[in-house]
Amino acid sequence: MRLAIRTLQRIAIFGLGVLSVWLIVDVFELVDRRLPWIFALTITYIIGAYLILPRAVRMGLKILQRKRVPSYTITGDGLPGDPVNLALTGTAADLRSAFATAGWCEADRLSLASSWRMVRAFVLNRPYPTAPFSTLYLFGRAQDIGFQRCIDNSPRKRHHVRFWAQDLAGTEADWSSPAFWLNDQRPAEDEHVLWVGAATKDTGLSLTRMTYQITHATDSDTGAERNYLIEELSKSGVIGKVTNYRTGDELVTKRVNHYVTDGDIAVAEIEARPQ
- Tens-place pLDDT, residues 200-217: 998 766 555 544 455 556
Q: What is the pLDDT of residue 96?
A: 95
pTM above 0.75, yes or no: no
Q: What is the pLDDT of residue 252?
A: 34
Helix (H) or strand (E) holding 112: helix 112-124
Query: Consecutive sets of 10 residues in the chain, 275 residues long: mean pLDDT of each?
Result: 70 75 77 78 75 70 57 75 88 94 94 87 86 87 93 87 83 53 77 90 64 59 89 92 64 43 76 61
Query: Rounded distance, CA 167 to CA 76, Å?
Result: 24
Q: What is the pLDDT of residue 31?
A: 74
What are residue 77's DSSP bridge partners?
none
Pairing relationship of beta strands 105-106 and 145-151 according to DSSP bridges: antiparallel
Query: Rounded distance, CA 241 to CA 269, Å?
Result: 7
Query: Rounded distance, CA 115 to CA 212, Å?
Result: 19
Query: Rounded distance, CA 144 to CA 148, Å?
Result: 14
Q: What is the pLDDT of residue 256?
A: 43
Phi, psi of 12 (to 5 degrees): -65, -45
Q: What is the pLDDT of residue 91?
A: 92
CA distance to 30, 160, 190, 191, 238, per residue, from 229 (Å): 50, 9, 24, 24, 12
